[in-house]
Structure 1
Amino acid sequence: MKFNHFVCPFTYLLASITFIFFLAACASQSMPTGGLKDITPPKLISTYPNDQSTNFNGDMIILDFDEDITTQKLQEELQISPFIEGTYKSTVKRNRLTLKFDKPFAENTTYTFSFGKGVVDFNEKNVPKNIKLAFSTGDKIDSLLITGTVSSLMRGNKLENAMVGLYAYNDSEADSFDIDNRRPLYFSLTDSMGRYAIENIKAGKYKVYALVEPKDKRDYIYNKNTELIGFYEEPLQIKSSYSGVDFKVIRYDILPFKLSGARQRAQYFEIKFNKNVADYTIEYQDEGKDADYDTLFYPVLQDEYINFYNRNMNTEDSISALMSFTDSIGNRIDTTLTVQFGTVRKPRESPFTFREDPPSNTPIIPTEGLNLRFLFSKPILTMQYDSIVIGFKGDSTGNRTTAADWKFNKNRTEISFIKSIELSTEKEKAFQLQIRSNTFVSVENDTLKDNKNLEYTQGKLSDYGVISGEVLGKYDNFIIEVIDAKGNVEQTLQNIRKYRFENLLPGKKTIRVLVDTNANGKWDNGDFKERTIPEPVLTLTRELELKANWELEDINIDLGY
C-alpha cells in the first residue's frame, strides 16, 4: 500500500490540536447545572475557647464550621451578655469566623454569645440554629437562667425583638444603675413568639425590665416617649433559675414638660412645646386698648403647638396674656407671654378645608341620634347659618338653619349640629344638608369653593351584630371594651358582669377588660418614675369574626381568683 506523505503531516497536526482541546476541557471544571438546592445550614464543629470553658484570658473568639460561611448584619444579630467594654472586629476566612476584641473581658464573669441570624452559609444563606458560646474568665460558669415572654399590655399580642434586661441592685445605689441611664448587665431579645431566655446569670439581686425600641435605633436605654416598657415593682432575688418571668409593656409619658419657644412665623404667632399639649387656658390683659382680644386673636391647639391667628392679618398688634398649659399627665406650665404680630412679607400658604363627622352616607347606629360635627383647618370668623338648608330626600322644600341649631367649640375650629332629627332607615328618605360654598368664612377670609350635599340615614338592626358573655373572677370594678380590627374602642360598659354589646358593625373584634383595682371609676396606667405598675388588663386571646344580624354568645373572660 502507498501512503500519501503530503496528507499525513496534516492529519497528525489535526489530531494534536484535538487532543489539546480535549485536555483543556478536562482541566476546565465548572459547577454542574441543576441538582438539589442546598438547604442544610452550616454546622459548628469547634470553638475557641471551648463552650463552657473557664479561666479564659484571651482577646479573640474563633468559630469553625463544616462549610464556607459569611456574616449578615452581625452587629445587630450578635448578642453578647453581659455587655462588653469596647468593640470588636469580625473577619471571615472560608469556614472560620474570628472576633478580635480591643479591650479585655471583665474578670470572674461568665459571657454568653448568641449569634442569631448573623452567620449563614456562603452560597444559599442558610441560617444555623442556636449558635451559642459561653465561657468564664473566672474559675466557674454561672448557670442561672430566667425565661418568660413579653407582650403588649393593651393589645395582648406577643412582641418580637423586645429587650429584657437585668440591672444589679444595690440598696445604697438603687437609682445609680438603671434602665434610663445605662445598658443592662444581662439581657436577651425576644423571638417571633415573644419568648426570651437570659442564661449564665450570677446569683444576686436585680432590677428587671422589658423594653421595646425600634430595631434600627436600639440603644438599650429607656429615653424616649415612643418606647414601650414593662417592669416589676420590686427587685428580683435570683438564687435559682426562674421561668414565667413575663412582662406586659406600655407607653409612658416620661419627658419633662417644657416651653420651647414663642415667636411670629409668617402670619401666625406660634408657641411651641417639647411634646403634645392636652389643654390650655388664656386670659388676655387689656393694656388700655379698646379691643376684644377674644375675637381679634384665635388660638388653636395643634399637637405640640398653639398657633394664634390674627383676624386683621395686615395689622400690627400685640397683647400680653396669662397662659396655662397642661400635658397628658397633668404637668403644668403657667406663664405670661406677649402675642405680637408684625408685618407679613410672605404669608404662608394654608388651604381652608372642611370635613364632616360622621362622613356623609354613613348609617347612624340604631337607637342613636345624629351627632354631626364639621371640622375646619382654620378658625371660622363668620358663618351664614341660613345658607344651610335641611330637609328630607324627596321633599320639595327644606328649612334654613338658624344659630340655635349650631354650637361652636372655644377656638371656632369645630361646630356641632345640635338640632334633634328623627332619621329614616330608607335611603329614599335620607336626611339632607345642603351647604353653599360661601357659608363659612375663615379668620384669613377664605371660604369653601364648592357646595356640599350631605345625607344621613338610620342603620337597620339587621346590618349589625351582638356580642355577649360574662366577666368572671374576683374583681368587681372593671371596664369592658369592644376593640375593632384597627385597634379602636367601639363600645364600652362598666361593672356589668353579664354584658351585652349591641349594634356592633360587622368585622373582626376582640374583647378587652381594664381592671379598676382602686375603684376610682377609671383605669390607671401606673407611673414609671414612681415604679408603680398599671392596673391589670386582660384581652381575649382569640379574634372574633362578627357577622351582620348575628350574635356571638358566651364570650367569657376570667379575671382570676
Structure 2
Amino acid sequence: MTTSLKENKSGSKRLKSSLKTRLLILSMFIMLIGLSIQCASIQQPTGGPKDSIPPKILLESPTNFSKNFTAKKIVITFDEYIKLANQQKEFSITPDMGSNPEFKVKKKNLEITLPDSLEKNTTYSIYFGKGLVDYNAGNALVNYAYVFATGDKIDSLSISGNVKSAITKEVQKDVKVLLIPISQDSIFGKKKANIFTTTDTAGNYKLNNLREGTYRIYALQEKNNDRIYNGADEEIGFLKDSIVLERDLNNINLEIFKGTPKKFRTQEKKFEKNGSILLIFNRRVDKPKLNILNDEVNNKDKIVRFSNTSDSATLFIPNLKIDSLKLVLTENERPLDTILIRKGNVKIEQAIEPIFTPNNGRVDRITHLQVSAFTPIKNIDKTKLKFKEDSLIRTNYQLAVDTANTNIYHIRYNWRKDKKYQIEFTEGAITGYFGEQNKEKKLDLTYDDSENYGDLTFDFTDLDSNTTYLVELINEKKDKVYRVDKINMNNPAVVYKQYPGGKYSIRVIRDDNDNGLWDTGDVEKKTFPEPVIYLNKVFTIRANWEQKDSFSLSGLKKRIIEAIPK
C-alpha cells in the first residue's frame, strides 16, 4: 500500500514537469512568431533627422514639353511613394480641357488619363501647385508643371504681375487671374475662362505657355470656383484696354473691388430686442427716405437713422404694439423698395443703455466725458445725476448737448489729479423720445494727467483744380476711420489740433463726383473705383508735440491701372 502511494506521487510529479516543459516550449515558439511578425512589419523610423526632402521625378512618359502630343495617358515616376494632397485646390489645367483628366496614384507612379476633348494645335499646362507630396512626411514638390502641345509648337509667352485691393492696397492671395481671347470675352457668360492661374501669398501671378494674340485680363476673387463673374458679391479687377501679346509682359498689375449690384435688394430686416428696426441693403442708396405705409401715427413720430454710407437704416417708432409694418424706401424721391417686416416673437425691452466715451474710466480736460446711446436721447435730467469727487457731492460740473449731434451729451469738469470720481445715473435720468428710460448706472472715473494730446498738420501739394479730395485719419489696420476732411487746391491743409496720442495712418481719396464718399467701379461699363493712396508711413501723435508734414498727391492725378506698361 505504501509503495503504491509513493509510485503515484512520483508519477504525478513527472507529469507536472512534462507539462511545464511543453508550456515553456510553446511560449517560446509564440514569442518567436511574434518577433518574426514584428521584424517583417514596415515601421516608421524613430529618432534621427526629420525627412524634409520632397519627392523627385525620375521619369516622365511622354517627356515633358512634348510636341505633336497624341498620348491618352501620362505616367510620371517618382523616387518614393507619393500621394495627392488638396487636389481640387492645388491642381489646375490651362487651357481647360473640356472634361477633367483622371489622376491615379499607383505606388511611385502618377497616372493621368486625358479626355478626348483636347484641341488641335494647343499648348496645355498641368500645374500641381503643392498637391504632390511624399507618402510619409507630406513634403510637397512645389510648382511642378507638365506641359505638352498637340501641335508642332510649344507656346512660350508669359504675363506676370500683382493683384491688390483697390481700397486697402493690400496684396490679395488665392485670386484667380483670367486671360480671355478678345474674340470670346466670356467673363459675364456661361462659358468658363479656360486660361487662368491663382495668385500666391504675395499677390503675385504668372501665366505661362501663352500664344500670341489679343486678350482681356481679369482678376476675380470668386466664391463658387466657376471662373465666371457672378456679380457684385465677387471682387473683380481688370485692365481698361485689351492686351496684344507679342512678347513677355511683366508688371500687369490689377486692383480688385466689389461693384454695385444691378438689382436692389433689402438683404436683412428685423426687429431688435431694444425695439428698433434694422434694415440692411445690398448697396448704397442715394438721398434715401423711409416711410411707413400702414401706420400713420408711427409714421408721423418715427425717427430714421441712415448709416454714413447709406447702405443700412435703423428705424425707431413710438408704438411697438403691432404685428407688422409696411415700409417704402425711396431714392432721389422715387420708390425703390416696399418692405414688409413682421415683429414675430421678439421680446422687446425698451430701455436706454448709456454709452460712455472714453470707456476706460480715465478722463482729461480736453475731451472730458461723452454720454450717448444707441436709442435716440430726448433729454438728460441733471437733477437725477449724482456727481461725486472722492465722497463729496459736486454740482459745479457742466452738462451740455453736442451742437452737431443731439444724441451726444458732454460732461465737463475741472478734473484733478489724485481724486476719485463717480457719476451715478439714477433710474430715469436719461429719457428717450418714446418714453424709454435708463436703469441705474454708476461710472467710476479718474483723471488722466498725462495730457496725451498733440498737434499734427498736413500740407498737400500737386492737387488738381476743380477736384475734391477726402483725407481720412485711420488706424494702422485700415479698418477704422476716425475723421474725414475735405481738401482742394484752395484749401490744401488738414490740422489735427489737440488730438489723442497714438499711431495713425492717412488715406486720401480722389472724390471725383464730390459726394464725400469712396465710389466703386463697374466692370461692365469699364469704369474704375475712385483712386486711393496711403501716405507712406505711420504717424505717431505724441503728448505736447507739434508736427508738420507735406505730401504730394501726384499719384492721384491718373489711374495707374488703365494702361499696359511699355
**The TM-score by the shorter chain falls in which range?**
0.7 to 0.9
2: CA distance, partners of 1:25 / 1:271: 70
CA gap of 1:242–1:304, structure 2 versus 1, over 3 A, is closer
Inter-partner Cα distance in structure 2 for 1:266 and 1:498: 45
- How far apart are the structure 2 equivalents of 1:276 and 1:520? 16
Work out which of the residue numbers 528, 532, 555 in structure 1 matches 2:527: 532
Offset of residue 256 of structure 1: 1.5
1:486 deviates by 3.3
- Partner of residue 396, structure 1: 393
Kindly state the Cα deviation for residue 265 of structure 1 after the two structures are TM-superposed: 11
Residue 88 of structure 2 aligns to a residue whose secondary structure is helix
- How has the CA–CA distance of structure 1 residues 38 and 259 changed in structure 2, closer, same or farther, with 3 Å as cutoff? closer
Match of 2:162 in 1: 149
Amino acid at match of 2:408: S
- What amino acid does structure 1 have at the position aligned with 2:209? N
Task: Give the whole-Å Cα distance in 2 for the aligned partners of 1:559 and 1:507.
Answer: 28
The CA distance in 2 between the partners of 1:191 and 1:166, in whole Å, is 17
Task: Give the Å deviation of 1:391.
Answer: 6.0
1:484 aligned residue: 475
Distance 1:529 1:452, change over 3 A: farther
**Residue 214 of structure 2: aligned partner:** 205
Say if 1:48 and 1:259 are closer, same or farther in 2 by CA, change over 3 A.
same
CA distance in 2, matches of 1:442, 1:292: 18
> Shift of the alpha carbon at 1:123?
1.1
**What is residue 281 of structure 1 aligned with on the other side?**
289
Partner of 1:237: 244
- Conserved 8 A contact 1:386-1:400: no
Q: How many residues align?
A: 522
**In 1, are the aligned partners of 2:267 and 2:282 still within 8 Å (CA)?**
no
Aligned partners of 1:530 and 1:118: how far apart in 2?
Answer: 39
Shift of 1:121: 0.8
Quick one: distance in 2 between partners of 1:336 and 1:558? 44
- Measured after TM superposition, the shift of residue 390 of structure 1 is 7.6
Shift of 1:367: 6.2
Name the SS for the 2:374 alignment partner. Answer: strand
Residue type matched to 2:530 in 1?
Answer: E
TM-aligned CA distance change 1:83 to 1:372, over 3 Å: farther
Offset at residue 244 of structure 1 (A): 0.7
Q: Which amino acid aligns with 1:185?
A: N
Instruction: State how far apart, in whole Å, the 2-side matches of 1:306 and 1:499 are.
Output: 31
295-304 or 235-244, which deviates more: 295-304
Q: Structure 2 vs 1, CA of residues 179 and 505 (structure 1 numbering), >3 Å: closer, same or farther?
A: farther
User: Is 1:195 the counterpart of 2:217 in the alignment?
Assistant: no
CA distance in 2 between partners of 1:41 and 1:333 (Å): 63
User: Structure 1 residues 292, 27: closer, same or farther in 2, change over 3 A?
Assistant: closer
Instruction: Return 245-254 or 512-521, whichever deviates more.
Output: 512-521
Q: Distance in 1 between matches of 2:133 and 2:430?
A: 64
Tell me the distance in 1 between the aligned counterparts of 2:322 and 2:37. 91
Deviations 1:323-359 (CA, angstroms, capped at 9, x unpaired) = 3334xxx89644678x899xx8855355746242534
Cα distance in 2 for residues equivalent to 1:276 and 1:456: 44
Q: Deviations over 1:188-208 (max 9, x none)?
A: 111122111011122222221
What 5-or-longer segments of structure 2 have no aligned partner? 1-20, 558-566
Distance 1:219 1:159, change over 3 A: same
SS at match of 1:396: strand
Could you tell me which residue of structure 2 aligns to residue 110 of structure 1? 123
Q: Deviations over 1:519-557 (max 9, x none)?
A: 887754443342111333222455566665567776856
The aligned amino acid for 2:113 is: K
Q: Counterparts of 1:423 and 1:361 in 2: how far apart (Å)?
A: 17
Change (3 A) 1:264 1:526: closer
Q: CA deviation at 1:282?
A: 4.1
**Is the contact made by 1:467 and 1:555 (CA closer than 8 Å) also made in structure 2?**
no
- How big is each residue's C-alpha offset from its partner over 1:49-89, in whole Å with a ceiling of 9 and x where there is no partner? 42222222444333222211111111111121123322333
| 1:147 Cα offset (Å) | 0.6
Paired with 1:480 and 1:305, the residues of 2 have a C-alpha distance of 24
Please show how residues 507-526 of structure 1 align to structure 2 within 5 Å.
507-516=502-511, 524-526=519-521
Asked if the contact 2:352/2:431 (under 8 Å) is kept, the reply is: no
* Conserved 8 A contact 2:423-2:443: yes
Structure 2 equivalent of residue 221 of structure 1 = 228
Tell me which moved more, 188-197 or 484-493. 484-493
- How much is the aligned-residue C-alpha RMSD, in angstroms? 5.0
Supply the AA of the counterpart residue of 1:82.
P
After superposition, the Cα gap between the structure-2 partners of 1:549 and 1:148, relative to the gap in structure 1 and judged at 3 Å, is farther
Distance 1:552 1:408 in 2: 28
Gap regions ≥5 residues in structure 1:
1-9
| 2:425 corresponds to which of 429, 432, 435 | 435
Query: Structure 1 residue 415 and structure 2 residue 407: aligned?
Result: yes
1:6 is matched with: none
Instruction: Choose 445-454 or 104-113, whichever is displaced more.
Output: 445-454
Cα displacement string for residues 461-514 of structure 1 (whole angstroms, at most 9, x for unaligned residues): 4x2456667656575754444431232233455347676655454444433333
C-alpha distance in 2 between matches for 1:438 and 1:26:
80
Deviation at 1:40, TM superposition (A): 1.0
| Shift in alpha-carbon separation, 1:366–1:25, aligned structure 2, 3 A | same
| Mapping for residues 29-68 of structure 1, pairs under 5 Å | 31=43, 32-68=45-81
3-state secondary structure, aligned to 1:154 = coil
Q: How far 1:436 moved relative to its partner? A: 2.0
CA distance in 2, matches of 1:393, 1:467: 34
Match of 1:258 in 2: 265
Measure, in 2, the Cα distance between the counterparts of 1:248 and 1:526. Answer: 11
Where 2:393 maps in the other structure, the secondary structure is coil
**Matched-pair identity in %:** 24
Q: Is the 8 A contact 1:466 1:503 kept in 2?
A: yes
Report the AA paired with residue 137 of structure 1: T
The one of 165, 178, 185 aligned to 2:187: 178
Is the contact made by 1:361 and 1:454 (CA closer than 8 Å) also made in structure 2?
Answer: no
Q: CA deviation at 1:131?
A: 0.4
> Contact 2:218–2:237 (CA<8 Å) still a contact in 1?
yes
Q: Could you tell me whether the CA contact under 8 Å between 1:154 and 1:539 is conserved in 2?
A: no
Structure 2 CA distance for partners of 1:336 and 1:97, relative to 1, 3 Å: closer
Q: Tell me if the contact between 1:60 and 1:99 (Cα under 8 Å) persists in the aligned partners.
A: yes
Matched AA of 1:324: L
